């Protein structure tokens, strides 16, 4: 058997996004409701189980692992987990371990991340204005995030800022945020809000197509299309005036599925082969069973068979149910 994970459309799956917790210390309005019911702790895979799962994925051709959440840095002993995982990087079996974080805990962990072989991280920041940040995240911790970014830079981590474009909230600030990020040598990626999970607001009020953001940016900046590809959904432009790179993730205005190379696994061991579909398979039963290697292989083969060709997001109808009931914090984006 060819061990490389490949789906029925011929796409090789080399990228695993692993959510290590669904909990978070923020409550971003587009991601969560203020009152969330999180998964019972007993349902979570232990760090040992997550480690063994990663080894199985690596044996099936996964070359890159991104840790996400919820907020990954709130999971206890995540540093010990990353330290152990780094053996696969040292052996050459894995190219990269990365992390997506909201940055609140980075001041504490940036040095360890770098020491355990993490070279690049994504930090989510939608506003540098204290009032807007508070309104968006419902927590007054902007200073912690900014200190975290400084710590990550001092530790030598390469940083990409992820910003969700939100109508009437941070749209006017996006040019300034980009200039700030580029000025500090950080790339930036803008993301269209996706209809995942019930939140307290209507997504029609949040959704801002990046085509509109690009039009606005082009009034002030020269955006040069680049052929840069990371195997992910982002399209990249170089901004002549800042010299920085701006990525745009446009699931709604521009479907990006043809080059999809990834799967997502949640902290309870559910594998989702598409962010925009509810279909999942339970790997936890397999890894806790009597023949974990065989059962896991079977399930991964089935997952490859089930991976859909593309997602079907749509945000046009006011009051519509989310395309997928699961929140982004379950799979980590």
Q: From the list 102, 127, 169, 170, which residue makes contact with ligand SAM (rule: CB under 6 A)?
A: 102
Report the candidate in 96, 100, 56 with the shortest Cα–Cα distance to residue 303: 56
Among 53, 69, 157, 287, binds ligand SF4 (CB under 6 A): 69
User: What are the Cα distances from residue 37, in Å, to 16, 26, 73, 191?
Assistant: 25, 14, 19, 26
Element (H, E) at 9: none
Q: Is residue 206 a contact residue for ligand SF4 (CB under 6 A)?
A: no
Give the 3-state secondary structure of residue 331. helix
Check binding of 142 to ligand SAM (CB under 6 A): no
Structure tokens at 69: 């959440």
Rounded to the nearest whole angstrom, what is the least distance from the CB of residue 325 to ligand SAM in the complex?
A: 12
Q: Smaller CB distance to ligand SF4: residue 247 or 333? A: 333
Tokens of 46: 């232990």
Q: Which of 14, 105, 162, 170 binds ligand SAM (CB under 6 A)?
A: 162
Give me the least distance between CB of 59 and ligand SF4, in Å please: 29
Q: What does 27 bind: ligand SF4, ligand SAM, none (CB cut-off 5 to 8 Å by kind)?
A: ligand SF4
- The pair of three-digit structure tokens given for residue 259, joined into one six-digit string: 């080059």
> For residues 102-131, which are near ligand SF4 according to CB under 6 A?
102, 124
Which is it for strands 96-101 and 262-265: parallel, antiparallel or unpaired?
unpaired
Q: Which three-class secondary structure string do you get for 27-95?
A: CCCCCCCCCCCCCCHHHCCCHHHHHHHHHHHHHCCCCEEEEECCCHHHCCCHHHHHHHHHHHHHHCCCC
Residue 101 interacts with which of ligand SAM, ligand SF4, none, CB < 5 to 8 Å by class? ligand SAM
Burial state string for 39-76 with b = 16 or more CB within 10 A and e = fewer than 16: eeeeebbebebbbbbbbbbbebebbbbbbbbbbbbbbe
- 32 in contact with ligand SF4 (CB under 6 A): yes
CA distances from 128 to 124, 164, 183, 267 (A): 11, 13, 14, 30
279 vs 324: CA distance, rounded Å: 10
Least Å from the CB of residue 55 to ligand SAM: 23
Query: For residues 222-261, which are near ligand SAM according to CB under 6 A?
Result: none
According to CB under 6 A, which one of 15, 30, 109, 207 is a site residue for ligand SAM? 30
Q: Which stretch binds ligand SF4 (CB under 6 A): 27-35, 50-58, 182-190, 242-250?
A: 27-35
Q: Does residue 72 belong to the site contacting ligand SF4 (CB under 6 A)?
A: no
- 267 touches, from ligand SAM, ligand SF4, none (C-beta below 5 to 8 Å by class): none
Q: Which stretch binds ligand SF4 (CB under 6 A): 26-34, 73-81, 114-122, 318-326?
A: 26-34
The token duo for 211 is 């085509």
22 binds ligand SAM per the rule CB under 6 A: no
Could you tell me the smallest distance in angstroms from the CB atom of residue 31 to ligand SAM? 4
Q: Which of 100, 105, 137, 170 binds ligand SAM (CB under 6 A)?
A: 100
Residue 289: CB minimum distance to ligand SAM, A = 30
Q: Under the criterion CB under 6 A, does residue 194 sit at the interface with ligand SAM?
A: yes
* 149 in contact with ligand SF4 (CB under 6 A): no
Is residue 101 involved in binding ligand SAM (CB under 6 A)? yes
- Give me the sheet containing 120-124, strands edge to edge: 223-225, 235-239, 245-249, 187-192, 158-165, 120-124, 96-101, 64-68, 15-19, 262-265, 270-272, 280-282
Q: Which of 82, 136, 177, 191: binder of ligand SAM (CB under 6 A)?
A: 191
- Chain positions contacting ligand SF4, by CB under 6 A: 24, 26-28, 31-32, 69-71, 102, 124, 329
């Amino acid at each position: 058997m060819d061990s490389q994970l490949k789906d029925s459309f011929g796409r090789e799956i080399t990228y695993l996004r692993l959510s290590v917790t669904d909990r978070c210390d923020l409550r971003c309005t587009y991601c969560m409701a203020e009152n969330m019911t999180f998964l019972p702790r007993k349902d979570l895979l232990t760090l040992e189980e997550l480690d063994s799962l990663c080894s199985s994925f690596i044996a099936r051709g996964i070359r890159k692992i991104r840790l996400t959440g919820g907020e990954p840095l709130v999971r206890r002993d995540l540093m010990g987990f990353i330290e152990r995982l780094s053996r696969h990087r040292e052996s050459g079996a894995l190219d990269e371990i990365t992390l997506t974080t909201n940055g609140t805990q980075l001041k504490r962990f940036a040095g360890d991340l770098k020491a355990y072989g993490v070279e690049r991280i994504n930090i989510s920041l939608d506003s540098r204005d204290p009032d807007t940040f508070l309104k968006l995240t419902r927590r007054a911790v902007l200073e912690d995030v900014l200190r975290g970014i400084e710590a990550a830079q001092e530790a030598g981590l390469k940083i990409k800022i992820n910003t969700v474009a939100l109508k009437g909230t941070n749209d006017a600030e996006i040019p300034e945020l980009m200039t700030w990020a580029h000025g500090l040598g950080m790339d930036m990626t803008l993301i269209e809000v996706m209809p995942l999970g019930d939140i307290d607001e209507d997504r029609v009020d949040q959704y801002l197509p990046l085509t509109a953001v690009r039009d606005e940016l082009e009034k002030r900046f020269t955006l040069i299309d680049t052929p840069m590809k990371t195997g992910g959904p982002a399209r990249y432009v170089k901004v002549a005036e800042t010299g920085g790179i701006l990525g745009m993730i446009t699931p709604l205005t521009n479907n990006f599925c043809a080059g999809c190379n990834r799967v997502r696994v949640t902290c309870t061991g559910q594998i989702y082969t598409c962010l925009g579909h509810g279909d999942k398979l339970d790997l936890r039963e397999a890894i806790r069973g009597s023949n974990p290697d065989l059962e896991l292989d079977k399930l991964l083969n089935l997952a490859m068979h089930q991976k859909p060709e593309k997602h079907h997001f749509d945000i046009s109808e006011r009051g519509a149910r989310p395309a997928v009931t699961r929140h982004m914090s379950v799979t980590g984006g």
